[in-house]
Chains A and B, each alone.
Chain A
Amino acid sequence: MNRWLAWGVLIFGVLYFILPLYGMAEFSLSMRRGVYSFDAYTKVLTDPTFQQTFSYSVMMAVFTIIFGVLLVVPTAYWVRLKMPEARPFVEFITLLPLVIPAIVIVFGYIRLYNTSSWLPLTGSVTGTNLLLMFGYATLSLPYMYRAVDTGLRTIDVATLTEAAQSLGASWATILARIILPNVLVAVLSGAFVTFAIVIGEFTMAALLDRPAFGPYMQLLGANRAYEPAALAVIAFAITWACMGLIQLVSRFSKHTKAQR
């Protein structure tokens, strides 16, 4: 009886997720009347705007991840090592982006850093990109911090630090050679979430007027029928590829083999 119920719930769940995906995939293949074809995909992939916006967003994602790692790993490490009493506070701060809408952040940015402010970041393309990256990093903070903090929990941070210190290592060396490699899998999962957020983000990119993938998707969705579906399928494929990559990397990291 219980078993049947469990199977029932499982099947319901699978259908719940699969059916819309199936419908979307089916629709994206139906651009040519009566037969399935990849016309919508060809159209999307050959669109130069797609290529530009997508590569722009990928690049932004990469920078955001690098910035996020440089910001979060030392912070989480330091909080764990020296200021354990500050942890609830830091956790609260990292959770704020979930509560504060992106639009509030971006309006705040524009008010603070507009061309007539003391730091006119929006006055140049590089400055605006930088601002956008900070915004993305803020959005990904809850996921990145949690992932890294969980990763740090699996190693004895204090003793490993002392061992490295007694061997002559500086803080930078300890972070780069000991701490980071040991939380790499956690960092990667945080990086993956960051990647997904940056690729799909609309509000910030649109309001800062940067040619990102999110606004492009929105534009396409508002004006075309089949292409948005194809685009969505492509986005799914990219997401799953990322997940697979993380699995692969964590499988290949030799020193954690025994723990799984």
Chain B
Amino acid sequence: MAFLELDNLEKFYGPVQVVKKFNLSVEKGEFISFLGPSGCGKTTTLRMVAGFETPTSGSIRIDGQDIVRLRPNQRNIGMVFQSYALFPNLTVAQNVGFGMKVARRPKAEIDARVKEMLGIIGLPDLGARYPFQLSGGQQQRVALARALAIQPQVLLLDEPLSALDAQIRVSLRSEIRAIQQKLGITTIYVTHDQEEALSMSDRIVVMHKGKADQVGTPVEIYNRPATRFVAGFVGTLNQIEGRVEDAANGLVIAGGQSLALGRRLEQSNGTSVALAFRPEALHRGEHPGEIGLTGRIAEVHFLGAVIRMKVDIGGTQVSLDSFNRAGADLPRAGDDVALSIAPGDVLVLGD
């Protein structure tokens, strides 16, 4: 049995259902991300685990014990908020020690834990400061230390990096991940930032309209999206409308060109489908063993390491990413180019 289990969790606000039949099993020490656009129910689900919202139905079990009836302060769950939520009247050390003080732990134990926690977050000398004297990144690290100091069974993070600027966000996310792995703490991380979810998580739950559309490792989510929504939400995805010509041999007509996918298709002949592929899967030139296409360059954006192009294939514009190489000529808008893509990189999405 998994360590944290969400079983048929549902939440209504009046007639509006914000979480639908949500099931999830989280192993001990796992880092799970809830990824989705705003209003998809990810934060509501997290808040039900924390105890700030009561599920309309369903159960939440930690280590076999149903916690739905427990009040938030009885659940032993650490929580980190987007707005840091440090207590402004307490110093950093008092903030970190707050949970243990509430639990009436001996002072020596609190002091030792606070010191250890401040060491872990890399701010060993800031214990005497007040929150307003810290930068946003430092405040969020203190908030993390505060949540971890009570040695919670589960750590919940609600968009903890959204309020920070880009540079801090990137460095702090690897830091959070490192701390999580070091302590081996079961973690749920809510974010709308796919890069965060992909780079930090063991598994990702992509949520859409209150449902978990797909649960899988970052690689699975990115390479084999289960639904159109997942495909479109995680990463950039090109889609070309087409029609199945020969399902047995995998022949599809799209953008006025015939593409041989070399595999049997589930859709029957004549049905319209969408061919989907990542911008980095498509490349210029002809490569043996790959599907050949022709197109016309519409736009070229030089982004440094990456050159992003818009290519017109039979009336549909698709994105194409290629790495920059010194000495290579930039293609120009209006050029006709030969393109190729590996058959395995093309997803056939039905309606």
Contacts and interface: CB of A to CB of B under 8 A. Distances in A.
A102 interface: no
Interface string B303-324: 0000000000000000000000
A99 interface: no
Given A159-B81, A173-B102, A255-B132, A165 B87 contact: no
A255 B73 contact: no
Interface string A138-170: 000000000000000001100110111111111
Nearest to A182: B89
A146 B216 CA distance: 52
B22 interface: no
Contact of A162 (B52, B103, B143): B52
Nearest to A180: B89
A168 B102 contact: yes
| Interface-central residue, B52, B76, B83, B102, by most chain A CB under 10 Å | B102
A167 B85 contact: no
B79 A162 contact: yes
A248 interface: no
A124 interface: no
Contact of A169 (B102, B133, B143, B147): B102
A162 B76 CA distance: 13
B77 interface: yes
Nearest to A258: B132
A167 B133 contact: no
A166 B130 contact: no
B78 A166 contact: yes
A178 interface: yes
Contacts of A126: none
Contact of B87 (A160, A162, A170, A256): A160
Nearest to B143: A163
Interface in A94-147: none
Given A168-B99, A168-B103, A255-B89, A162 B83 contact: no
B130 A167 contact: no
Interface string B84-109: 01111110000000110011000000
A167 B146 contact: yes
A163 B102 contact: no
Contacts of B71: 165
Contacts, number: 83
A15 to B, nearest CB: 42
B88 A182 contact: yes
B85 A159 contact: yes
User: Per DSSP, are chain A's interface residues mostly helix, strand or loop, or mixed?
Assistant: helix
B50 A164 contact: no
A167 B102 contact: yes
Interface string B127-153: 000111100000000010011001000
A163 B73 contact: no
A254 B52 CA distance: 31
A155 to B, nearest CB: 7
B87 A178 contact: yes
B336 to A, nearest CB: 57
Contacts of A173: 102
Contacts of B78: 166
A181 interface: yes
Nearest to B101: A177
Contacts of B73: 164-170
Given A170-B73, A255-B130, A164 B98 contact: yes
Interface in B140-197: 143, 146-147, 150, 156
Contacts of A181: 89
B235 interface: no
Contact of B81 (A162, A177, A257): A162
B72 interface: yes
A177 B90 CA distance: 9
B155 to A, nearest CB: 10
B85 A163 contact: yes
Among A155, A163, A166, A173, max chain B CB count under 10 A is at A166
Contacts of A177: 87, 98
B243 to A, nearest CB: 53
Contacts of A254: 130
Nearest to A159: B85
Given A168-B99, A173-B102, A259 B83 contact: no
Interface in A226-260: 253-259
B79 A163 contact: yes
Contacts of B87: 160, 163-164, 177-178, 182
A155 B132 CA distance: 13
Contacts of B150: 167-168
A168 B103 CA distance: 7
A152 to B, nearest CB: 13
B307 to A, nearest CB: 44
B50 A166 contact: yes
A254 B89 CA distance: 8
9 contacts: A159-B83, A160-B87, A163-B81, A166-B78, A167-B98, A178-B87, A178-B89, A182-B87, A258-B132
Interface of B: 50-52, 71-79, 81, 83, 85-90, 98-99, 102-103, 130-133, 143, 146-147, 150, 156
Interface of A: 155-156, 159-160, 162-170, 173, 177-178, 181-182, 253-259
Q: Which 6 A-B pairs have the closest CB atoms?
A: A167-B99, A166-B79, A181-B89, A163-B85, A165-B72, A258-B132
Given A182-B87, A255-B131, A259-B132, 7 more contacts: A156-B83, A166-B75, A166-B77, A168-B99, A182-B89, A255-B89, A256-B88
